[in-house]
C-alpha cells in the first residue's frame, strides 16, 4: 500500500515538473492535460490506428525473432565453456555499437518497408537476450550439471529440464532489456526513411512542428513501455526469489 502511494507521489511530482517546464517553454512542450486530450482525440481518430497497428506488428515480429534468435545463440554458446569465452567480448562490443549506423545497410538489404523495421528491431534486441542467456547457462550451479551427467540425460532433456528452468530468472532479465531495445529499434527504424508507423508520426509532427502530437505519441508509448516493463520486473523479482 505504501509502495503504491510512493509510486503515485512520484508520478505526481513528475507531472508537476512537466507542467512547470510547460509554463517555462510553452511552444516547445505541451502541458500534461493538453497531451492527455490530444492522446484521447488520437485514440478516437481513424487515422491513428493504421500507424499503431504497423508499429505493433513490426514490434511483435521483431520481438519474437529477437527472443528466438537470442535464446538460440545464447544457449548454444553457453553450453560450451570455450565458445562462451570466445563469444562474450564479441557480443558485448556488438551490443555497444551504435546500430543506427547499420540502418542504411539494412535498408539496402531489405528495401523500404516493414521487413527493414523488423530486422532493425531484431538487431537491437537479439544481442542483450543472447548475452543474458549465455551468462545464465554459464553460471548454473555445478551440482546441477553433475546431476545431468549422473542421470545421463540426453541433450534435449538437459536443455528442457535443467538449462532452461535453471536459467529462467536471468533469461527474463535479458528479455526485459531486449523488449525495451527492440521497441527503440523499431521506432528509430520508423523515424528514418519510413511512411507509416508511430515513429513516422513523430517525425512528421516534428517536421510540422506539431508539438501536441509529438508529446501525445511519446506519452502513449511511454505508458505502454512502463506498464510492460513493470509487469516483467514483477515476473523477474518473483523468479529470482523463487530461485534463491
Partner 1 sequence: MSRVGWIRLLVVGGFILAIELLCRTGMISPRVLIAPSDMAIRLYRLLLSGQANADIIETLGNVAISLVLSVSGGFAIGAAIHALPRLRRAIDPFLASYYALPFFAFYPLFIVMFGLGRGAVVAIGFLFGVVAMIIATLNGFDRIPRVLVRTAEVYHMGPVAAALRIKLPSAVPYLFTGVKLAIAYCFIGVIAAEFIMASSGLGYAIAYAFNNFDNGKMYALMFFIIVLVTIVNALFYTYERRLMRRWGR
Closest CA to 176 of 116, 131, 229, 226: 229
Question: What is the CB neighbour count within 10 angstroms for residue 100?
Answer: 14
CB closer to partner 1 out of 96 and 156: 96
Dist. CA 19–CA 62, nearest whole Å: 36
Give burial (CB, 10 Å; 0-12/13-18/19+) of 44. Answer: exposed
Decide: is 131 part of the binding site for partner 1 (CB under 8 A).
no
Binding test (CB under 8 A) with partner 1, winner from 43, 97, 112, 160: 97
Question: How far is it, in rounded angstroms, from Cα 140 to Cα 144?
Answer: 7
Nearest distance in Å: CB 62, partner 1: 13
Burial (0-12, 13-18, 19+ Cβ within 10 Å), 175: buried
Look-up of cell digits 526469489: 241
Compute the least distance from the CB of residue 161 to partner 1, in Å: 30
> Does 20 sit near partner 1 (CB under 8 A)?
no
**12 near partner 1, rule: CB under 8 A:** no
| Residue 95 contacts residue 128 (beta carbons within 8 Å) | yes
In the region spanning residues 147 to 176, those forming contacts with partner 1, defined by CB under 8 A, are 176
CB of 152 to partner 1, least distance (A): 29
* Shortest Å distance, C-beta 39 to partner 1: 14
**Residue 202 binding partner 1, by CB under 8 A:** yes
Residue 156 has which C-alpha cell? 534435449
Which residue of 233, 235, 239, 240 would you call a contact of partner 1, by CB under 8 A?
233
* Alpha carbons within 13 A on the beta-carbon side of 214: 15
Site residues (vs partner 1, CB under 8 A)? 2-3, 6-7, 9-10, 25, 27-29, 82, 85-86, 89-90, 92-93, 95-105, 107-109, 176-177, 179-181, 183-184, 187-188, 191-192, 199, 202-203, 206, 209, 211, 214, 217-218, 221-222, 225-226, 228-230, 233
Amino acid at each position: 500500500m505504501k509502495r503504491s502511494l510512493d509510486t503515485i507521489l512520484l508520478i505526481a511530482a513528475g507531472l508537476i515538473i512537466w507542467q512547470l517546464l510547460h509554463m517555462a517553454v510553452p511552444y516547445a512542450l505541451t502541458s500534461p492535460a493538453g497531451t492527455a486530450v490530444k492522446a484521447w482525440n488520437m485514440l478516437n481518430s481513424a487515422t491513428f490506428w493504421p500507424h499503431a497497428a504497423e508499429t505493433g506488428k513490426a514490434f511483435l515480429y521483431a520481438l519474437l525473432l529477437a527472443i528466438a534468435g537470442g535464446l538460440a545463440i545464447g544457449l548454444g554458446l553457453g553450453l560450451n565453456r570455450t565458445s562462451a569465452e570466445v563469444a562474450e567480448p564479441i557480443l558485448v562490443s556488438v551490443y555497444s555499437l551504435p546500430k543506427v549506423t547499420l540502418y542504411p545497410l539494412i535498408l539496402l538489404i531489405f528495401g523500404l518497408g516493414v521487413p527493414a523495421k523488423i530486422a532493425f528491431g531484431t538487431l537491437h534486441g537479439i544481442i542483450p537476450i543472447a548475452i543474458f542467456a549465455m551468462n545464465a547457462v554459464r553460471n548454473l550451479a555445478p551440482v546441477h550439471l553433475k546431476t545431468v551427467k549422473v542421470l545421463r540425460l540426453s541433450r534435449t532433456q538437459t536443455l528442457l529440464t535443467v538449462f532452461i528452468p535453471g536459467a529462467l530468472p536471468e533469461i527474463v532479465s535479458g528479455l526485459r532489456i531486449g523488449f525495451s531495445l527492440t521497441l527503440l529499434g523499431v521506432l528509430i527504424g520508423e523515424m528514418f526513411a519510413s511512411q507509416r508507423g508511430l515513429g513516422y508520426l513523430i517525425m512528421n509532427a516534428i517536421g510540422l512542428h506539431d508539438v501536441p502530437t509529438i508529446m501525445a505519441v511519446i506519452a502513449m508509448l511511454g505508458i505502454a513501455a512502463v506498464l510492460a516493463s513493470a509487469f516483467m520486473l514483477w515476473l523477474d523479482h518473483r523468479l529470482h526469489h523463487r530461485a534463491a
